[in-house]
Structure 1
Amino acid sequence: MAVFGPGDTRKNLKLAIAGETYEIEEMYPAYIEVAKFQKEKKVHKEVLNGPGVLKKMHKMIYEKALESVNSGKDPELGPIQVCEVCGYTLEGDAPDVCPICGALKEKFTAFE
């Protein structure tokens, strides 16, 4: 159950950052340890290279948004690119190939 929703943007961004931080620092490391214990090398690699990377990108974007809210200014962002296949998210130009799933540049949607 999400603890954020309509209401205070600053609070919602702080909660989103806390959620991403939890996943980066607690949840995914636990998944990795279980994968190591079970000798699931492929899963271990996928967790490190997939969702873990996505969470770090999300956290960075939320932090930038919170800085803007705190300063009372609109955020200065380049286009936000999202891979339609795996959800990889970045600011700037879409890569030729998604570093997470290998989808081609055409599978990225830009939000400006």
Structure 2
Amino acid sequence: MKAFIYTDVSLDTVTILKYYCKRWPIEIFFRQEKSLLGLDNYQIRSIKGIERIWILQALVHLFCTIGLDQPMKFGKGILKVRKQSKKDYIKWIYNCAKGNIPLNNVFQFLKIT
């Protein structure tokens, strides 16, 4: 099979720059999805599963940018969400201790027995 190679590409510099500027937000989105949300680590084989993980990740991305108390860049939003999640986790453990819930019950719930 013979490879097809474009040899007659004649885009001027301004046009190339315009295309690149339009593509840049897409590149940033995929880099963030891969590095911060693990888009490149999922091990799903079915089309339905792939569609679901993409939808979930897009919703997380959307939540981290406009779903908080004010719109913000994704990187700042994901840090804020992670910090709040840690606070909620510690608060839950603290409330278990205040409620005299046995430590073994907490361990069992967290599946660290």
TM-score by length of 1: 0.31
Write 1 or 2 for the structure with the bigger share of helix.
2
Higher relative contact order (CA 8 A, sep 6+): 1
